[in-house]
Structure 1
Amino acid sequence: MDYPLLNVFWTTMWVFLWVLWLFLLFRVFTDLFRDDSLGGWAKAGWTAFVILLPFLGVFVYLIARGREMGRREMKRAEQAEEELREFVRTTAGAGRAEELSRLVELKDHGDLTAEEYERAKAKVLAA
């Protein structure tokens, strides 16, 4: 059980750097294959470069395409947020104010009695 504290520190640091490297490699491949501006041959070339010369390939990719990498990620995040907002907007349906205005219109047209209107209004306001 002879494992000095400095060796624990170095081992921890190397494991951290290894995980960091794998995360960076995964991030580069994710960006590479999500990018619609690159053709198939360009993606194959970058993939071969990153696989054959991993450290140099990743660093060159980050230098050459790093700025656009961030922009593409922001664009994807904004698009996902807009899709979520649109989904919520369409599935949430009408708000209480719209429902109440429809009830008033139905009452004004004579389709609802005053008693039916009050029950429906109470139901809308309770929801």
Structure 2
Amino acid sequence: MIMKRTVLRVLLVPVLASFIGFASGQDADLSGTWDGHAVTSDGTEVPLILTLKKAEAGYGGTVNAMGQDLSLENAKFENGRMTFEFLFSPGGESLRITMELKLDGEKLAGTWSSDQGDSGSSAFERRK
């Protein structure tokens, strides 16, 4: 009886751990196109298109902002959170933008911040 319980525990623990990881989005593949926006500190909504491609180490891709396709840097998905950076040059001024987004089903939502101290919210929904 004790042996049976031990065997069950040994078999169930990895199964439960993998289920918990899957349920929290650990194994999610975020590859694809995501339509969204960022809200600036003055309330302006800027449309964005996020294109993600799963890579061997993290993610690659682009974000399209104001007609510019900007390459993602340091893109990774860990613990249900997607983070990445990109350089944005509106009007010749170069800004480093960092986005931190949480996966919720087919949506990513969170915040963005710039190296100039600006910040705001951002949200995306996977394109079908």
Q: Which has the higher strand share?
A: 2
Rg (Cα) greater in structure: 1
- Relative contact order, higher structure (CA 8 A, sep 6+): 2
TM-score, length of structure 2 as denominator length: 0.32
TM-score, length of structure 1 as denominator length: 0.32
Q: Which has the higher helix share?
A: 1
